[in-house]
Amino acid sequence: MHRHDAPEKSFIPVETDLDLAVRAAWLSYVGGHTQEQIAARLGISRIKVTRLIARAQKEGLVHVFVEGRAARWVALEDALTARYDLAACVVTPTLGEDDLPLRALGNAGARLLQGALERPEIQVVGMGHGRTLASVVEHLPRIPRRRVRFVSLLGSLTRSAAANPFDVIHRLAERAGGEAYFMPAPFFCNSVADREVLLAQKSLQDVFALARCASFMMIGIGTVAEDAHLLQTGMITGEELAELRAAGAVGEVLGTFVDDAGVPVDVDVNRRSIAVGFDDLKGKEVVAIAGGHGKVGAVDAVLRSGIARILVTDEQTAEGLLKRTQKREGLAAE
C-alpha cells in the first residue's frame, strides 16, 4: 500500500499541543482577547480554546506572564501582522529541518486549511502550487465533509510532476471528499499569442470563473535565486531567470514575478503565465505559506503587494522579515 493511501499521523511533536495551549493562554491573559477572538485566530472551536487555557493553567505556565517558547512566536505574529497590515499570521517553530521547513509549514498550513473546511460559508477553495502546498495536503487528515470544490489557481500542465498543481488539487479532493478542478493549460505558454488562444477556450474559461469564486485561497511564494524551484523543474529557463533578475524581480506568486516593492516587473514571462491575476485575489481570504533559507526577500515583496491577508511562515523567516522592515523604516526616517 502506498503510504499516501494510509491514514497519516500528525508529524507535530507532542510538545506542540502544549505550545498551542501557551498561544491560547498568552492571547487571553496578555493579549486580552476574548475566547471567540482566540478561536478565530487559531482556527479552532471556543470549547477547545477553553480546554487549552485550562491545560496551560494545569501545567503551571500561567503566572503573571505566560512561559514557553510559543510566547515568542505569538509576539512575532503580532509584529508581522502590524508591519504588513495582515488579518492574521502564524509563525511555526524551527524543527531542525533543511533549508525548506516543509514539516513545520505543512502542519501549520494543514491546520488552517482544516479550519477553513469546517466553515460552511466556504464552498470553493483555490490552491496554488509548489512543494510547501503539497506538504500541506500531505499533513491534512482525511475529513469527509459537506461537498466543496477545490480548484487550481494556475495552469496545471507542467514538465515536472514535482511542480504539478493538478496533483495537489487531486490529492486534496481525495482527502477532503470534494470535487477537483484543474486548468487544462500550461503554467507558462511559449508566447503571448499562445496564451490568448488558450484563454479563449471555454473549458479554461469555466475553470477561471470557478477560481474567481473561491473565497479561501492558499498560495506559495517562489524566488528568483539560482536554485529557484521554477528553474529546477523546467518551468522557466536560465535565460528567463536572468531577464527577471535584471528587471528587478525578487519573488513570484501564481506566475507573476514582482520587485522588492511588490509590483509586477515588466518582462515577457509575466505576460505568458496562465493563472488568476492579482485583481482576482483582492477581497479574498488569501493565505500565503512560505519560508526557509533565502525566502525573506521574496516573502517580503509578495506581502508588500497586498494580495495576501494571512501569512504562515517559520520562526527564522519571521525574524528576517522583521529585520527587513525595521531597516526599511530606519532608512525612510533618515
**Reduced to 3 states, what is the DSSP secondary structure of residue 185?**
strand
Q: Write down the CATH number for the domain with range 72-333.
A: 3.40.50.1360
Q: Which phi-psi region, left, alpha or beta, contains residue 32 (left: φ > 0; alpha: ψ -120 to 50)? A: left
Per-10-residue mean pLDDT for the chain, 334 residues long? Answer: 42 60 85 87 90 87 58 90 95 75 89 90 92 90 78 78 67 86 90 95 95 95 86 84 95 95 95 94 93 92 96 94 88 60
**pLDDT value for 233:** 75
Annotate 28-53 with b (16+ C-beta within 10 A) or e (fewer).
Answer: bbebebebeebbbbbbbeeebbeebb
How far does Cα 311 stand from its chain's mean position?
Answer: 6
> At the topology level of CATH, where does 3-68 sit?
Arc Repressor Mutant, subunit A (1.10.10)
Residue 18 burial class via C-beta count within 10 angstroms: exposed 0-12, middle 13-18, buried 19 and up: middle
Could you tell me the residue ranges of all domains in the chain?
3-68, 72-333
Tell me the three cell numbers of residue 222: 517562489
Quote the CA–CA distance of 195 and 218 in Å, as a whole number: 24
Tell me the three cell numbers of residue 101: 521547513
**Which residue carries 507573476 as its cell?**
256
pTM of the entire predicted model = 0.77
